[in-house]
Amino acid sequence: MELEDKDLLRKQAALFPLPKGVKFSYGTAGFRTDAALLPSTVFRMGVLAALRSLCTKRATGLMITASHNPVHENGVKLADPSGGMLNVAWEPYSDMLANAPDVENFLQIVEHIVKRENIQSGNAASGEVLLARDTRPSGEALVSAARQGVEAVRGTVAHDMGVLTTPQLHWMVRSFNNGVPASESDYFHQLSDSFRMLVELWHANTGDLTHSEELIVDAANGVGASKLTRLQHLTTSLGLQVRNSGNEGEGLLNDGVGADFVQKEKVLPHGFQLPADVGKRCASIDGDADRLVYFYIPEKHEDGYSGPVCTLHLLDGDKIAAIFGLFIIGQLHILAGSKSSVSDATTAHKAVVPGYGEVKVAVVQTAYANGASTNYIKQVLGLEVATTPTGVKHLHKKAEQYDIGIYFEANGHGTILFNEIFSQWLQDASVQQKEAEHRQAAKRLVAVNEMVNQAVGDALSGILMVEVVLRYQGWSVEQWDSMYKDLPSRQLKVKVKDRAVIITTPDETRVASPSSLQEAIDTEVGKYKGGRAFVRPSGTEDVVRVYAEASSQQSADALAQAVCVLVYHLAGGVGPEP
């Protein structure tokens, strides 16, 4: 690095001293903590995003959000030039930079990165970083810190894209680098145009419009609310009512609302009531709109269990993956020349499409996927199921290995990826196929590819896709729910002194160390019919997560509780015994 470059960085970095006594960790998907502690980290991530842009000679992205965490927290995530998460090989740089104790140390790390990645900086260089934030009050000041970080690296500029959802920013980075229109209004038009196209093509397929009452969305009092409203204006046939918009009097961001709350607690979010909302099709998104789950309040509870559970029926990421899989395989079935239609697509097991060959399709899940979903996807849809560790970066990478990769975490992060060769083939097939029915199926898949965010899971495009498939199927939310019945499950968390003492196997289903903990979990699981349980250190919170499944809700609750006690005793629990 030239002297001038260093002087500029030194001067700017001095404005953002490291707070005392804090250790920052990039975690699964970026830094998250109390907003007041973050300016130095965000400045430094601005520097890193700029270096990554200079290194790849393409734009990168920096998002200020703490997703589903409380409003006083904030965070920063980086988007790679592909629009995906930051390349994992660069994650260690984030931790090193964020924790550099003083300016000189910080400069040394920057120099190390510049040298190791062979980065050309200075006047001749040109890097670009797109910045955005969610609705948190601390966001504006943090975007300013990020901008100063980006522009402290000579030769890079920051573009402030304003208040966006996380997936919108990822989409913009991807589009920008692909040289296609990349503004927010381009995003909305791309989504709404392809939604409209899919609705038109549905008429072409089946005739009658039998759908349907409106969808009610709990927007977590976050950024998704205004974005959904905008989408609604462009797609009038999408009947939508937004609740928990974050307006005056509507409550706090992520406080008793949103996808994380609904999925983990399985209770109604604020703003939804009995009996007014019984039977309605509802969805929850999270604070930065990259998670989506659906739910409804059933007329009555069939299982008679009166614990804190079952006040709602949850259709989580697994069930979203299942309905997406059903649609995709249905269209491929048509393309493969079978006479069957979408509704009996479940007989399709392998899609061999004339002119292309076998289309490789898979659903990618994590250990959190409900066992019933995995069985359904494999046995009824006949699709391959691949498994990865928790975290979008892992699922996304795996899904890219297929012609069509549908990936979802149970918590609602997910999307459908189309590989380039196959999407080009689909484009051609949508005009060149001889049979009108085949052209239409290809057109539908082209429209799905356009509509469903290819950069990262996106609650907005996810909603559009679910709504499309429900219309195609002519299904109510209950009918969708009845694709399969979830095995009862329970998720809990335990506080321990140091969660890093728990090391899991790569698939996260077993504890490699301390081995006594796994042995004790095995013994406990053995006591429950259909029991399954695993623990893993959270990548976003200072806790150990516990997951249990069993044949009844009481058993799942009891198993989860028993495993919590084991973690507490064998992995250094703190505070009162769970």
Alpha carbon 465 to its chain centroid, in Å, reads 15
Interface size with ligand 16G, residues (CB under 6 A)? 15
CA-CA distance, 69 to 258, in Å (whole number)?
Answer: 10
> Is residue 549 a contact point for Mg ion (CB under 5 A)?
no
Q: Which does 138 bind (CB under 5 to 8 A by kind): ligand 16G, Mg ion, none?
A: none
**DSSP β-bridge partners for residue 532:** 549
Among ligand 16G, Mg ion, none, what binds residue 558 when CB lies within 5 to 8 Å by partner kind?
none
Stretch that binds Mg ion, among 114-122, 168-176, 282-290, 373-381 (CB under 5 A): 282-290
Which of residues 325 and 389 has its CB atom nearest to ligand 16G in the complex?
Answer: 389
Other residues' Cβ atoms within 10 Å of the Cβ of residue 355: 11
Query: Rule CB under 6 A: which of 534-553 touch ligand 16G?
Result: 538-541, 545
290 binds Mg ion (CB under 5 A): yes
409 lies in the binding site for ligand 16G (CB under 6 A): yes
Helix/strand/coil (H/E/C) assignment for every residue in 500-555:
HHCEECCCCCCEEECHHHHHHHHHHHCCCCCCEEEEEECCCCCCEEEEEECCCHHH
Binding partner selected for residue 333 from ligand 16G, Mg ion, none, CB under the kind-specific 5 to 8 Å limit:
none
Residue in this structure with the two tokens 């059933």, named with its chain if needed: 298
Residue 67 binds to Mg ion (criterion: CB under 5 A): yes
CA distance 520 to 18: 42
Q: Does the footprint of ligand 16G cover residue 87 (CB under 6 A)? A: no
In the complex, minimum distance from the CB of residue 222 to Mg ion, in angstroms, rounded to a whole number: 9
- d(C-alpha 149, C-alpha 142), whole Å: 10
Pick 387 or 390: Cβ nearer ligand 16G? 390
Q: 80, 184, 277, 286: which one contacts Mg ion (CB under 5 A)?
A: 286
- Sole residue written with tokens 């239409």: 440
Q: Does 288 bind Mg ion (CB under 5 A)?
A: yes
Work out whether 553 is an interface residue with Mg ion (CB under 5 A): no
Which residue number, 19 or 539, has a Cβ lying nearer to ligand 16G? 539
Of 76, 262, 392, 452, the one binding ligand 16G by CB under 6 A: 392
- Select from 66-74, 349-357, 398-406, 433-441 the region that touches Mg ion (CB under 5 A): 66-74
DSSP annotation of 77: E
Give how far the C-alpha of residue 432 lies from the chain's centroid of Cα atoms, to the nearest Å: 35
Instruction: Give backbone dihedrals phi and psi of 549, rounded to 5 degrees, phi first.
Output: -130, 145
Q: What is the DSSP string of 402-471?
A: SSEEEEE-TTS-EEEEE-HHHHHHHHHHHHH-SSHHHHHHHHHHHHHHHHS-SSS--HHHHHHHHHHHHH
Give me the active site residues, please: 67
User: Minimum CB separation from ligand 16G for residue 417, in Å?
Assistant: 15
* Minimum separation from the CB atom of position 387 to Mg ion (A): 22
The DSSP H or E segment spanning 244 is none
**Binding-site ranges for Mg ion (CB under 5 A):** 67, 286, 288, 290
Q: Which residues bind ligand 16G (CB under 6 A)?
A: 28-29, 67, 390-393, 409, 411, 413, 538-541, 545
